[in-house]
Every structure is written in structure tokens, then in C-alpha cells.
Amino acid sequence: MTFPACTDIENPLEDISSTSQSEQPDSHKDSVVDTEFSRRTFVKTTGILSAALATGLPQLATAQDGHAAAASTPHTMSLTLKVNGTSRALTLDTRTTLLDALRETLALTGSKKGCDHGQCGACTVLVDGRRINSCLTLAVTADGAEITTIEGLAKGDTLHPVQAAFFDHDAFQCGYCTPGQICSAVALLNEHKHGALSAVSFETGSTTKPELTDNEIRERMSGNICRCAAYPNIVAAVRAASKGATA
């Protein structure tokens, strides 16, 4: 099994590959292709290559667009992301999404890349306390914002109440969508506490402080798809967390 060397990738992605290599165990440091190629290394390497394709290598973009050579020159910007309470100064290609910055540059791989088009919710994080899709958020637009990812919810070894509820209610199977589901549910409870409505509130005529019924939870969590269909347990976990929060 051979993989293209990361150095084949154009300049804008070199930072990403070097960051990722530095996260690997020492034995893997010198070469991505290794006889003891771990699953994580495999995932990370293919992830980098997929990211490269998704971002669009400059030469591909130029060929397809027919833009002048100048249009294919990457633009980089310096910015600061305050992630889980820590300020991180970064210099990124303007095309970098917040999701890619978190995963590939800051090595916070809890937030997941599912569809990469705002259709699945696996990338959900909190920006200034509000849930958003980090895959459709350009990192440069989050300059100076407070970002909370799944890694920032627990306090030391004490799980966030929503994390604990997901654990107690077995609200997952494969777990890939779970970080997004949990971040989304944390925001949901906060929105509900502040009286936010959903489409269901209007359909049921409960437009003043609607009770968080199962139908309300399903509607408010509809931006997070679970391919394993663990929905009944996800609803149960959110319901339990909501009761705990108000007790």
C-alpha cells in the first residue's frame, strides 16, 4: 500500500500536512508511509488528501474556471480563534473552513466532517454560544470569536450534563454524528431556556414558552442527521438533559 507523499500537495496545504505529521507518534514522524501504518495515520492521511480535493487544488480550480494565473494564487490571512477558552493565532488560506481549521490545523478532531455542505450537522460547534455548521463557516469570518467544540464541554473528568445524558441513554451507535449532536443539544437547551420557538411551536399553537415535547426536540434537532438512526435514544437523552437542567 503506497500513498502519495504529502509534499506533492501544493503550498497552501503544507502547513496542514506538517501539523498533522507532528501529531503522529514518533515512529511515524519521518515518513507517512510506514510499515506499522496505524488506522489513525491512515485516516489522517486520507483525510488530508480528501481535504485537499475538497478544498480544490489550485491547478484544478484554474483548469475548471479558466481564470487567469493570478486568480489561482492563494490568499492567506492571520487570525485568532479562541477555542475552548484558549486563544490560538493562525495564518490560514482564506478558503479554510472553520471545520478544517479545527481539525487539520488545531488537531481538534472531535468535530466531524460528514457531508461538508451543511446538510448533516456532524460539524456543529458553538460560535459565541450559538450552534452553527463549521463546514460552511470560513475560518476568517470567525476571527476573534469564542468557539466551543465537543472537546471543550467537559470540565476535567466531569462530563457536561448533555454528554452524560447521551452516555446514560446510549444515544449513539457508530458515534460519528455524536459530537455534532451533543453540541447541537447543548445549544438547543439554551435556546429553549430563552424562549426560542420552532416550527412545531406554531403548528401546535404553543407560541408562548413551549414545553420541550418529543416533537419539539425532534424538530429542533433536525439539523443533525444520524445515519445509524439512533434517534429515539437521542430524543430520550435530550429530554433527560432538559429535565435535569430545569430541576
Partner 1 sequence: MNPFNYQRATAPDQAVKAVSASGAKFLGGGTNLVDLMKYNVEHPTTLIDVTHIPFDQIAVNSTNAVIGAGVRNSDLANHEGIRTNYPLLSHALLSGASAQLRNMATTGGNLMQRTRCYYFMDTAFPACNKRTPGSGCAAIHGFNRIHAILGASNECIAVNPSDMSVALAALDATVHVTGPNGKRSIPIGDFHRLPGTTPQLDTNLKPDELITAVELPASKFAKHSYYLKVRDRQSYAFALVSVAAGLEMDGNTIQSAGLALGGVAHKPWRSPEAEKFLVGTIVSPDAFRKAADLAVAGAVPRSDNAFKIELAKQSIVRALTLAAQGVQA
Interface residues with partner 1 (CB under 8 A)?
A: 54-56, 58, 61-62, 64-65, 67, 71-75, 77, 93-95, 97, 116-118, 121, 124, 130-133, 136-138, 140-141, 184, 187-188, 191, 195-199, 201-202, 205, 207, 218-220, 222-224
User: Between 62 and 213, whose beta carbon lies closer to partner 1?
Assistant: 62
* Least separation in angstroms between CB 244 and partner 1: 21
Q: Which residue has 420552532 as its cell numbers? A: 198
* Least separation in angstroms between CB 71 and partner 1: 6
Q: What is the spatial distance between Cα 34 and Cα 163, in angstroms, rounded to a whole number?
A: 36
* Least separation in angstroms between CB 37 and partner 1: 30
Torsion angles phi and psi, residue 230, rounded to 5: -85, 20
User: Between 53 and 154, whose beta carbon lies closer to partner 1?
Assistant: 53
DSSP state of 111: S
Cα-Cα-Cα-Cα dihedral sign, residues 17, 111, 199, 196: negative
Is 142 within 8 Å of 127 (Cβ atoms)? yes
Q: What is the spatial distance between Cα 64 and Cα 61, in angstroms, rounded to a whole number?
A: 5
User: Between 174 and 196, whose beta carbon lies closer to partner 1?
Assistant: 196
Q: What is the spatial distance between Cα 180 and Cα 220, in angstroms, rounded to a whole number?
A: 13
* Least separation in angstroms between CB 19 and partner 1: 20
* Least separation in angstroms between CB 144 and partner 1: 10
Distances (CA, A) of 124 to 11, 105, 148, 185, 207: 28, 17, 10, 10, 26
User: Between 32 and 230, whose beta carbon lies closer to partner 1?
Assistant: 230
User: Between 178 and 224, whose beta carbon lies closer to partner 1?
Assistant: 224
* Least separation in angstroms between CB 213 and partner 1: 14
Q: Is 81 strand, coil or helix?
A: strand
User: Between 29 and 193, whose beta carbon lies closer to partner 1?
Assistant: 193
Q: Is 239 strand, coil or helix?
A: helix
